[in-house]
Amino acid sequence: MDVGAHVRGGGTLIPSLAAGDEIGATSIQVFVQSPRMWKPTQYARAVTDAFREAHAEHPRIGRVFCHATYLINLATGDPELYAKSVAALAHNVAVGRAMGADGVILHVGSHRGAGLEEVLPAVAEGLTRALDAGEPGDPDCPILIENAAGAGGTVGRSLEEIAAIVAACGRDERLGLCLDTQHLWASGVDTTTPAGARRLVREVEDRVGLERLRALHLNDSKTEFGSNRDRHANIGEGTIGAEGLAALVGHARVRDLPLLLEVPGDGDGPRAQDVVQAREVVRAGTAMYRRRAAE
C-alpha cells in the first residue's frame, strides 16, 4: 500500500521529503514552480543532485511526482499562451528529470470551444517537445495526463479524449495517466461500486493500456455527481464517501498504485490523519473484493 500526499517543496525541494515523512506518506507530489505564476523556479544542478541524495536518505518516501503549473494550456489557440505553456511544461519535465521524479502530472488545458480534433496536433507537438526537454543522461520523466472534471472546453475529460492524445503522440511510452477520483465523480463516472470500478479499469485497459496508469489522486468531492466542478474534500467528508472510494482503491489493479492525497486537511493540505484515513479506505476496499471472491 502506497499512500502519498501533495506537500510543499520549499526552495530546495528537500523539505518536501521531511513533510511527507512527518505525515506518514510513502510517496509525495510537489510543485517545482508556483502553480499560478509563469516565472519558473531555476534550480542549480547542485540543488537537484542534493535532492536525489536526500531522497536516498528518506527510505520511507518511495516515489516522487511533480505537478505541472495550472497555467499551462496546450490546447489554446493563442500563440503567445501556447509558447509559454510549452516552455513551462518543458521546464517542469527538465526539473523532474534532474531530480529523478517518477512523473510530471499535467492538466492539458482547454480548447475553449474549438473542439479536440482542431487542437490535437498542437497538444501532441507540445507534449513531445516537453518530453524531450532536459539534460542528456538524466532519466526520462514521463508526463502523466490527468483526467479533468469536465467543465467547458476542458481537454481530457474522458478516457476517450486522453486516448486520442496518446495516439496523436505516436503512443509514446513516456506518456502516462493519473486518474483523479474527484474528477471522475464530477465528470459523471461512477466508481463507487465494484461493478463501476471494474468498468473503469476495463476502459483504461482498452483505451490507453493499464501500464500507463502510474498514479491516482485520492480525493473526496465537495460537489455532487456529474457537477463538472473541481472541488476536493477530505476522505469520508464528501459526496463520494469513504465506502465509495473503497470500491475503486480496493481493486487489485489500483490498490498498489501511488495513491496521492490532494485533500484540504485543515486548510493547509493533507495531514497525518488523512493518510491514516486513506489507508483504512484501502483496507476496506481490499476486504470488500476478498469477501466477494469468497461468496
CA distance 68 to 86: 11
Of residues 59 and 82, which shows the higher confidence score? 82
pLDDT in tens, 242-261: 999 999 999 999 999 999 99
With respect to residue 264, please indicate whether it lies within any of the assigned structural domains.
yes
Straight-line distance from the first to the last Cα atom of the chain, in angstroms, rounded to the nearest whole number:
25
What is the share, in percent, of the chain residues with pLDDT greater than 70? 99
C-alpha distances in angstroms, 154 versus 93, 125, 228?
Answer: 22, 18, 10
Supply angle C-alpha 145, 62, 57, rounded to 5: 135
Q: Does residue 217 sit within a domain?
A: yes
Tell me the residue range of the domain where 238 lies: 6-294
Q: What is the pLDDT of residue 150?
A: 81
Angle at 76 between CA 106 and CA 210, to 5 degrees: 30
Cα of 65 vs its chain's centroid, Å: 8
As a 3-state breakdown, the chain gives helix, strand, coil percent values, each rounded to 5, of: 40, 15, 45
Q: Grid coordinates in use for 120? A: 490535437
Rounded mean pLDDT, 79-83: 97
Mean pLDDT for all residues in the chain = 95
Tell me the per-residue pLDDT of 158-182, one tens digit each, with 9 for 90 and over.
999 999 999 999 999 999 999 999 9
What CATH number is attached to the domain comprising 93? 3.20.20.150
Q: Average pLDDT, stretch 218-228?
A: 97
Q: How confident is the model at residue 37 (pLDDT cuts 50, 70, 90)?
A: confident
**Number of domains within the chain:** 1
* 153 assigned to some structural domain: yes
The predicted model scores a pTM of 0.96
Cell numbers for 4, please give them.
502519498
Residues 187-207: what's their mean pLDDT? 97
In a domain, 82, yes or no: yes
Residue 1 in domain? no
Does the residue 270 lie in any domain? yes
pLDDT tens-digit map of 102-125 = 999 999 999 988 889 999 999 999
71 domain-assigned: yes
Residue 122 lies in a domain: yes
